[in-house]
Amino acid sequence: MELIDRLNKEKRLSSSEWKKLLSSWIEEDRTYAAFIARTVVLQKFGKSIYIRGVIEFSNFCKNDCYYCGIRHSNSKIGRYRLSKEDILNCCQKGHSQGFRTFVLQSGEDPYFTTDKLADIVSEIKNKYPDSAVTLSVGELKPEDYTNLFKAGTDRYLLRHETADEKHYKALHPAKQSWKNRMRCLQDLKDTGYQTGCGFIVGAPYQNIDCMVKDMEFLSNFNPEMIGIGPFIPHKDTPFAAEKTGSLETSLFFLSLCRIMLPDVLLPATTALGTIDPEGREKGILAGANVIMPNLSPSRVRGKYMLYNNKQNSDVETSRCMIDLRKRMSSIGYDIKISRGDYKGRNNS
């Protein structure tokens, strides 16, 4: 508890303090951290939850991450791409339901060149000038990031996956490099995006030192958004037999992130909602303030399977939005119709 108080007061811990906290915490620390995180988030955001509509527009991927169900080598899944028209229809549906952020997410699919993406982004921004567009399409060249930013993209999500280079190598084939991923994150920030990173809790081979590095990386990088959720195996990947990450550890990390970076936009992720039917609510009560329902057309939704039983927190009909609002109000929170931009330093 002293270390949690110290983190709250100083907004940082030393390596040895992180190591101590992350290797010796007990349930009481977790509930204490959640209590502090809720106080912090209440001061910054009140009882408002931001929503982001996710459009998974292609599950083609040239990468081969050992943990991921849409990896290149998985020949068992049906691949799909949405057309520009499909994507715009998703936005229209989302906008009418109150979404003011659209997250365009895909595997690393070379079919969607920067020009194609820029065209789609600028059309969305033209049609919905009150909305933000977030891209999550992986590692690109600096000039591509620049061009997509110029086309109107507001934010970019690229999880760092792990801040430990050796651990990164254990999760990815040799041609995927940790250094390049880190370079991309820096490029994104330098370009001017609100940038999101994040890691997988309980990924195979993750040890305390990896987690210490993750927290120190987040502290130094100071991202506007953080995506963290438990590892969940996918049956057709090399990690099929590995064990699922823990709900409690994931919640603890959400709380620590909130305490360390009070302004950060922190989703209760789909992975959290997949390992526990109330995962998203629990995430919010641990300090998260964002949820990211799926706006993809129902015919493709089952195909973006990053891990087994990926939950479809979709909003297919307006009934679903009513349900979502009910779920949030059952824990005392309200969905806010807003872009929900970062309001911390340099950006208010």
Q: How far apart are CA 62 and CA 60, in angstroms?
A: 7
Q: What SS3 state is found at 335?
A: strand
Residue 139 beta carbon to ligand 5AD: minimum distance, rounded to whole angstroms: 11
Residue closer to ligand 5AD (CB basis): 102 or 231: 231
Which parts of the chain fold into alpha helices (H)? 2-10, 15-24, 27-45, 84-96, 114-127, 142-150, 165-171, 178-191, 208-221, 247-260, 270-275, 279-285, 298-301, 318-330
Residue closer to ligand 5AD (CB basis): 74 or 97: 74
Residue 64 beta carbon to ligand 5AD: minimum distance, rounded to whole angstroms: 12
Residue closer to ligand 5AD (CB basis): 81 or 235: 235
Q: How far apart are CA 301 and CA 305, in angstroms?
A: 8
Residue closer to ligand 5AD (CB basis): 186 or 309: 309
Residue 90 beta carbon to ligand 5AD: minimum distance, rounded to whole angstroms: 18
Q: How far apart are CA 189 and CA 179, in angstroms?
A: 16
| CB-closest chain residue to ligand 5AD | 307
Residue closer to ligand 5AD (CB basis): 234 or 258: 234
Q: How far apart are CA 264 and CA 196, in angstroms?
A: 9
Residue 294 beta carbon to ligand 5AD: minimum distance, rounded to whole angstroms: 13
Residue 10 beta carbon to ligand 5AD: minimum distance, rounded to whole angstroms: 29
Q: With left for phi above 0 and alpha for psi between -120 and 50, is residue 11 left, alpha or beta?
A: left
Q: What SS3 state is found at 55?
A: strand
Residue 55 beta carbon to ligand 5AD: minimum distance, rounded to whole angstroms: 13
Cβ atoms 297, 86 nearer than 8 A: yes
Q: What is the contact surface with ligand 5AD in residues (CB under 6 A)? A: 67-68, 159, 161, 200, 229, 231-232, 234, 271, 306-307
Residue closer to ligand 5AD (CB basis): 53 or 229: 229
Surface-to-core class of residue 35, CB atoms within 10 Å of its CB (0-12 exposed, 13-18 middle, 19+ buried): middle
Residue closer to ligand 5AD (CB basis): 145 or 231: 231
Residues in Cβ contact with 119 at an 8 Å cutoff, skipping those fewer than 6 apart: 84, 151
Residues in Cβ contact with 83 at an 8 Å cutoff, skipping those fewer than 6 apart: none
Residue 332 beta carbon to ligand 5AD: minimum distance, rounded to whole angstroms: 28
